[in-house]
Structures are given as structure tokens and as C-alpha cells.
Structure 1
């Protein structure tokens, strides 16, 4: 079974909702950066429905959905419900009781850690789709995918709302996870 692809209609609907509701915040988080805030898209019932529908179509065929702390939880939970699957919450380091499986990874300004429970999750051989809101450098998505792989899962797709132009996220995913993983984005920002 292969994972899905958003239909032209679902993709167009999601893109229209993002265009209508996302707000541009100049000079955030630092001067010269134009931050595209997706919160208003998710706060609109039709916008949330359109985004979740398109992401779910991209993840069709997954046994589980993994949402990355924190906005990926919102999206991942909704996508998992639509697909009738379970959800794996990929948490920031230190948020889960032991034992955990963790992975440290580099950020532009330091390091971070992602974790999942070491007990209670049967991920061995499971097809997992990873969900987050934005793809920029790809570091967090690669780390989450490597963490799930370490737990025995097979990450076959990554789906995000927005891919930031001018960043090397897709390249990082190809080199960090491999070319076989499908990367789906609903729009560029």
C-alpha cells in the first residue's frame, strides 16, 4: 500500500483557506523576518477542515500518525481521527516520564531533544506519517523520523501545512531519512 496524495480539490481548498486566514507578522521573531501565522487558519472551522482534509489525504495508508510537539499535536490528532488511526505524540525532551527513547539534534542556535515513550507503544514495522505545521531547515522533522525509526517504525510520509521558501528542508529530509519518504506541503511561505 502506498501513501496518498491530496486531491486537486482538497489542495486548492486548503490553499484558499491559508491565503484567506494566515496573517503576516513583520519582524518576528527577529528584525527582517516576516512570520506567517497559521493560528487564524486553524481557528476557522472551514480552514481547519480544509487543512486537515488535505493532510489526511496525503497520509492515507498510514497505520499511525505522529504529531510533533506542539502544533503537530493539533494537526496530527485531527488527521489521525479522520484516518481512523492512532496518534504518537513526539514530545520535546523532558516532558515524558521514563523510560523514553530520545534523539538529540542541532538547531541553528543550539540543540534540542525529542522523545517518545519506550514502553507501551508497538511501533515495530508500523507505517507512520509524520505531521507538523512548517518545514524550514528540516531538522525537527528529520529528528522525529529518526526517533520513530529507532523505535522500529517505517516513516513513509511527512506532511506539513507550509514549506518556507529559501530553506533546505527537503534536502535535509532526503539526506537524513532517505529519498523514499514522501514529503507533502500544502503551500509555500
Structure 2
């Protein structure tokens, strides 16, 4: 991605101080999504990463990973698989619990959506602590597929997610369009 493209994306991310709690600066991507030029640059950049890493399917993590992953899948000519919070998918699912700073959470995927030979790229908006991404990688592997990589719009490096994810990535690439 060019420096000009990075600057466009950065210019469309709004900082919201003290949200959702005092001391946190929330990175709001809704201005980026509302700008068709910036959203197109983001979609194209993520689609190029998926193709470069040989992905055959895309997983989007609830909820902003759905917003980003679905158009990326269309642009890259790949299938899209939603990874949802527990209890949101009908039928047979694979589930994975993971730790949060304040407790635990659980995500699920339809069991039949993943197959041996699939190379799955995970798409999300932010890499923070890496818990959700690590759980998604476990689900993908339990479904018989391979992790092609993880691609995010922005990485919040000060939270250490990249280091925590290294074992779960097992050599798969982690691509962040923006490092903050």
C-alpha cells in the first residue's frame, strides 16, 4: 500500500477519547466506511493481501470484521465465513472460549463452512490483545482448514497482541495496514 493510501485511511479514523471508559481512546472507523474512496482503498488493500497469501476463504470476526471481510471476499473472489459470538448461529457449530481482560468470551463458526484444504485469511478491523484472533485460528484448525494469515486495518502495538499471537500464528503472516 502506498504512503498516500495509508494517509487516506489514517485521516478517516476518528479518535474518541474516554470511550468506552475513561482513559481509553477508541478508534472509530465509521468515517472511513462512510467515505467510498477510503473504503475502496481499504477493501482493495485487504483483498490483495488475501490473494498474495493464497487464501481460499475469508473469515470475518464479529462485528467489524463482517463489515470489512464481506466486501474483501467479493473483491478477491473468495467465500466469506462469519465467526460469531456464541449462540448466534443455527445448526452445528464449533466453539472456542478465550480470555478477556475482564472475563471470558466464546465464538462460533458453522462446522460445515471449513474443510481440509481450505486456506483461510482472518479479517478484522483492529488487532489489540489478540484473544479473539487466536480463538478464531483455533476454530479454523479444528475445522480442518489452514490459517493463511491474519489481516487487520490497524494494529495497536502498545497492547502486545502480535507477541501474544505468535504461537497461534505458527508461521502464518500477520498483516496490519496501519500500525498505531
Which of 16, 27, 35 lines up with 2:18 in the alignment? 27
Residue 66 (str. 1) matches residue 59 (str. 2): yes
Residue 186 (str. 1) matches residue 177 (str. 2): yes
Q: Which residue of 2 aligns with 1:52?
A: 43
Shift of 1:99: 1.5
Give the Cα–Cα distance (whole angstroms) in 2 for the partners of residues 43 and 162 of structure 1.
17
Shift of 1:13: 4.2
Q: Which residue of 1 aligns with 2:91?
A: 98
Shift of 1:173: 1.4
Q: Which residue of 2 aligns with 1:156?
A: 148
Q: Which residue of 2 aligns with 1:110?
A: 103
Give the Cα–Cα distance (whole angstroms) in 2 for the partners of residues 14 and 90 of structure 1.
28
Q: Please, what TM-score do these two structures have when normalized by structure 2?
A: 0.94
Contact 1:26 1:34 (8 Å CA) reproduced: yes
Q: Which residue of 1 aligns with 2:136?
A: 144
Residue-pair matches, total: 178
Q: Which residue of 2 aligns with 1:5?
A: none
The superposition leaves residues 82-129 of structure 1 with CA deviations (integer Å, 9 ceiling, x where unpaired) of 11010011111110123111101111111111111123x242121110
Shift of 1:33: 1.3
Q: Please, what TM-score do these two structures have when normalized by structure 1?
A: 0.90
Contact 1:18 1:38 (8 Å CA) reproduced: no
State the 4+ residue runs in structure 1 displaced beyond 3 angstroms.
Answer: none
Q: Quick check: which one's helix share is greater?
A: 2
Q: Which residue of 2 aligns with 1:15?
A: 6
Secondary structure of 1:134's counterpart equals strand
